[in-house]
């Protein structure tokens, strides 16, 4: 009998993900704005009401790691990809990330 295993790149959802404000959206595309200031503001407003925003930020900073800001998509924890890259870089320089 052969045992099937999940692919190595399959990641278990974090424990906080069901509590996230974005998990209750009927249109999750809101979190991937086209770049207009109004769309970005709408996505940030979802994050501003989120009870797990800090946990989300910790998770995304760890998961995205050193990826270039152009490889980071959407608004996560209220931040754009470039803003998340700046947070990562700052934490790395301070020695707060491994």
Mean pLDDT, residues 49-54 = 95
pLDDT surpassing 80 at residue 51 = yes
Mean pLDDT, residues 71-82 = 94
Distance between CA 9 and CA 36 in Å, rounded? 33
Q: At what angle do helices 37-48 and 53-64 cross, to 10 degrees?
A: 120
Q: What is the pLDDT of residue 52?
A: 96
Q: Which of the two residues, 70 and 93, has the higher pLDDT score?
A: 93
Within the chain, what is the greatest distance between any pair of CA atoms? 56
pLDDT surpassing 90 at residue 16 = no
Q: CA Rg, the chain, in Å?
A: 15
Distance between CA 77 and CA 29 in Å, rounded? 15
Mean pLDDT, residues 23-29 = 93
Q: What is the pLDDT of residue 9?
A: 52
Distance between CA 2 and CA 26 in Å, rounded? 40
Distance between CA 74 and CA 5 in Å, rounded? 30
């Amino acid at each position: 009998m052969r045992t099937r295993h999940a692919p190595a790149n399959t990641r278990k959802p974090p424990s906080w993900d069901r509590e996230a404000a974005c998990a209750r959206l009927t249109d999750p595309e809101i979190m991937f704005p086209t770049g207009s200031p109004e769309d970005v503001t709408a996505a940030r407003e979802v994050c501003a009401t989120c009870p797990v925003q800090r946990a989300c930020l910790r998770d995304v900073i760890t998961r995205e790691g050193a990826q270039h800001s152009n490889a980071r998509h959407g608004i996560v924890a209220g931040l754009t990809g470039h803003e998340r890259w700046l947070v990562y870089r700052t934490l790395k320089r301070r020695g707060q990330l491994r």
